[in-house]
Chain A
Amino acid sequence: MAVIAAPRQRASRRPRMTFARRQALWGYLLVLPVSLVLLALVAYPFVYAIYISFTDRVVGNPGGWVGFDNFRYLARWSSFGRAVQNTITLVVVTDVLKLGLGLGLALLLNEPLRGRGLFRAAVLLPWAMPGFVAFLTWKLLLVPIGGGLNLVLNETGLMAVPEALGLGSNGIIDWLGQRSTALPAVIAATTWRGFPFWCISFLAALQQVPNELYEAAKIDGASRFQRFRDVTVPAIRQVVLVVALLSSIWTANSFEHIWIMTQGGPSDATMVFPVLAYFGMQSQRLGEAAAVSVALVPALLILVFVVTALVRDDD
């Protein structure tokens, strides 16, 4: 009998719980696991990183509070200065290149061309490839001996151009090994890997533009440029902005492209924050290493804030 009694009791209690409360309870229950993981593995380490950056912690010794000492040290440290410069250059130049290439190619692929599918597949490839593979391959393309780029330049006779610029001699240029070419080479590789994603995003946005808009504009006598400016640009502006912001955050914080191709060298010519932080950790000076990444937090927070305001939020 108890078996029957129990559900009846519950049934009599149920009406007291409103629909809204039951909903809320379900909501909390289902969102709880992710919230716990995020608190434990993202929020807590984030706060912890900021705390460590204000201590002189080393491996094996938690150290003590040193205030802004680590940041004062960073301000005087030339490697850190290089990392700031390189990151800004890397982000700005790759963003511009990716925008130009991505948008240009997306506009082309949006035209009714034969074999468009094949070209699209070619665009997908660098995006689909693992990043470390892409950068390993680029390292191999750029090595002085046996590298694909030098070989192509030599075979086509174009080698004379970079050689005239003093970048190398005897058909050998060490693209990643000399200060003048290392950062441009890294930018080229990063752009190659990154712009297909921009192109794909733009293409998807372009295909959502109803063709009637173009037809109507044409009937009203709008020129090709006017149609681009007044129909295409408004339709993709949002996507461009979000993709550019996210891509900037990722490029600024990416580790593998630099680590695999140059490890920040030669003599800091391609040094960036994550690599510097990693070296700091290897030398066991955790306080300073944490400060390297934490120094970026204000800029990061601004970008996150902008992205949050931009992306769709249903209420």
Chain B
Amino acid sequence: MASVPATTPRPRAAGPTQGGRAVEHRARRRPAAGSVGAYLLLAVVTVLLLFPVYWMLTISLKIPREINRVPSLWPQTVTLDNYRELLGERGFLTNLRNSTIVAGSVTLVSLFISSLAAYSLVRFRYRFRGLVGRLILFGYLMPTSLLFIPLSIIVARLNLGNSLQGLIVVYLTFSMPLSTWLLTGYFRGVPAELEEQAMVDGATRMGALLRIVLPLSLPGLVAVGIFTFTAAWNELLLALIFITSEDLRTVPLALQYLITGDVYRWGPIMAGAVLSSLPVVILYFAAQRVMVQGATAGSVKG
């Protein structure tokens, strides 16, 4: 859960940011005096940030002898054997497929249901609204480790154990509060006047939601969709408890089973690490602006 945004985001336009647009005024500022020191510091931090990633990539491209017996910082022989082994005999494609099905379904269901709820919480006034809002925040902060035992009993009772459907259902425990909480923040940023205008012009409530609010919150929906997808894609504890068949294992589950043996085959494991990071990292970087803004902007009181 740790990679998930901390706070309610809000589209930039809604905040008091216009006056302080970073880029323009910063150009006017003098470069910092101690900039050599600053660069040096940044260089050190960057190496620390990137070295693990570099290590993951090189190990995935190394031959076994170079991983364990004569380790080196650079691979002497570059090979794709690890990827071949992982996708071939270890059937990693099945794991990728399972994860895609689970994370994709969880995202679609959560986004749809949550956007209705978030819209309701932002636009309508009714009793218990505050209570529902609290419940959502409570669910957002609720640790999975507290819920997994009762959930396992409930899922067994529903006969959903050891199935991707069951996993999708239990993943809603964290995806639903997460996406509702974040979407509430985005919808707050859409001015109510626009909708009222549309309704004066003859649009229905639903029409206003579909034609005004959704398009305007599209960046938010994309960001929340990516956060929800990655939360489900990365989940390990519930998958460990609910999935027992090998052919139903999701990506994190398959990789954790590769490190429980006596001899770690680091080559294929790191190939799996690279392959399972790629979709998520690409999504994050492609949507970088909305993601960062979604994770942080205008999130808090005051």
Q: Which residues of B contact A96 (CB under 8 A)?
A: none
> Contact at A194–B2, with CB atoms within 8 Å?
yes
> Contact at B3–A197, with CB atoms within 8 Å?
yes
- The one of B117, B153, B176 in contact with A41, judged by C-beta atoms closer than 8 angstroms, is B176
> Is there a chain A Cβ closer than 8 Å to B200's Cβ?
no
CA distance A272 to B19 in the complex (A): 47
CB distance from B91 to the nearest CB of A (A): 19
CB distance from B216 to the nearest CB of A (A): 18
> Is there a chain B Cβ closer than 8 Å to A264's Cβ?
no
> Contact at A34–B136, with CB atoms within 8 Å?
yes
> Contact at A238–B150, with CB atoms within 8 Å?
no
- The one of A46, A128, A273 in contact with B147, judged by C-beta atoms closer than 8 angstroms, is A46
CA distance A251 to B143 in the complex (A): 10
Q: Which residues of A contact B259 (CB under 8 A)?
A: 136, 139, 260
> Contact at A132–B252, with CB atoms within 8 Å?
yes
> Contact at B125–A311, with CB atoms within 8 Å?
no
- The one of B29, B125, B293 in contact with A27, judged by C-beta atoms closer than 8 angstroms, is B125
B 49-61 binary contact with A (CB < 8 Å = 1; else 0):
1111101100100
Q: Which residues of B contact A260 (CB under 8 A)?
A: 236, 256, 259
Residues of chain A in range 17-63 having any CB-CB distance to chain B below 8 Å: 20, 23-24, 26-31, 33-35, 37-39, 41-46, 48-49, 52
B 273-302 binary contact with A (CB < 8 Å = 1; else 0):
100110011001100100011011111111
Q: Which residues of B contact A204 (CB under 8 A)?
A: 292-293, 295-297
> Contact at A208–B16, with CB atoms within 8 Å?
yes
Q: Which residues of A contact B53 (CB under 8 A)?
A: 125-126, 129, 137
> Contact at B145–A132, with CB atoms within 8 Å?
no
Contacts A30-B119, A112-B26 known; A129 to B277 CB distance under 8 Å? yes
Q: Which residues of B contact A281 (CB under 8 A)?
A: 148-149, 152, 241
Nearest residue (CB) in A for B53 is A125
> Is there a chain B Cβ closer than 8 Å to A283's Cβ?
no
> Is there a chain B Cβ closer than 8 Å to A71's Cβ?
no
> Contact at B39–A242, with CB atoms within 8 Å?
no
> Contact at B67–A138, with CB atoms within 8 Å?
no
> Is there a chain A Cβ closer than 8 Å to B211's Cβ?
no
> Contact at A312–B135, with CB atoms within 8 Å?
no
Contacts A105-B45, A242-B7 known; A137 to B114 CB distance under 8 Å? no
> Contact at A33–B6, with CB atoms within 8 Å?
no
Nearest residue (CB) in A for B181 is A311
> Is there a chain A Cβ closer than 8 Å to B154's Cβ?
yes
Contacts A196-B49, A249-B143 known; A43 to B135 CB distance under 8 Å? yes
Most chain B CB within a 10 A radius of its CB, from A122, A146, A286:
A146
- Partner-contacting stretch, out of A1-9, A159-167, A291-299: A291-299
A-B interface contact total, Cβ < 8 Å: 351
Contacts A24-B126, A129-B280, A201-B6 known; A211 to B20 CB distance under 8 Å? yes
> Contact at A49–B150, with CB atoms within 8 Å?
yes
The number of chain B residues with a CB under 8 A from chain A is: 119
> Contact at A251–B2, with CB atoms within 8 Å?
yes
CB distance from A118 to the nearest CB of B (A): 8
> Contact at B113–A37, with CB atoms within 8 Å?
yes
- Partner-contacting stretch, out of A74-82, A148-156, A178-186: A148-156
CA distance A254 to B231 in the complex (A): 13
Nearest residue (CB) in B for A111 is B32
Nearest residue (CB) in A for B238 is A255
CA distance A221 to B72 in the complex (A): 55
- The one of B42, B149, B264, B293 in contact with A119, judged by C-beta atoms closer than 8 angstroms, is B42
Nearest residue (CB) in A for B34 is A111
> Contact at B169–A112, with CB atoms within 8 Å?
no
> Is there a chain B Cβ closer than 8 Å to A103's Cβ?
no
Most chain A CB within a 10 A radius of its CB, from B25, B26, B117:
B117
CB distance from B255 to the nearest CB of A (A): 6
> Is there a chain B Cβ closer than 8 Å to A253's Cβ?
yes
> Contact at B296–A133, with CB atoms within 8 Å?
no
CB distance from B224 to the nearest CB of A (A): 14
> Is there a chain A Cβ closer than 8 Å to B142's Cβ?
yes
> Contact at B2–A250, with CB atoms within 8 Å?
yes
CA distance A260 to B255 in the complex (A): 10
> Contact at A112–B296, with CB atoms within 8 Å?
no
Contacts A23-B126, A33-B113, A113-B42 known; A137 to B26 CB distance under 8 Å? no
Contacts A113-B38, A311-B300, A314-B188 known; A129 to B281 CB distance under 8 Å? yes
> Contact at A256–B237, with CB atoms within 8 Å?
yes
Q: Which residues of B contact A26 (CB under 8 A)?
A: 120, 124, 205
> Is there a chain B Cβ closer than 8 Å to A247's Cβ?
yes
> Is there a chain A Cβ closer than 8 Å to B48's Cβ?
yes
Most chain B CB within a 10 A radius of its CB, from A41, A52, A200, A251:
A41
CA distance A177 to B129 in the complex (A): 51
| Further pairs besides A24-B126, A30-B116, A130-B277: 19, Cβ < 8 Å | A20-B125, A33-B117, A34-B117, A38-B135, A45-B154, A113-B38, A126-B52, A132-B255, A137-B52, A145-B68, A151-B71, A192-B52, A205-B296, A208-B297, A212-B20, A243-B6, A260-B236, A260-B256, A293-B149
Query: Could you list some 30 contacts between A and B, CB below 8 A?
Result: A34-B116, A38-B135, A41-B173, A42-B138, A44-B150, A48-B153, A49-B150, A111-B32, A112-B30, A121-B285, A124-B288, A130-B280, A132-B236, A137-B53, A138-B52, A146-B67, A146-B71, A148-B55, A151-B72, A192-B52, A207-B17, A253-B144, A260-B236, A278-B237, A281-B148, A286-B153, A290-B150, A304-B137, A304-B138, A315-B130
The 7 closest A-B pairs by CB, nearest first: A27-B124, A253-B143, A274-B145, A128-B284, A30-B120, A34-B117, A24-B126
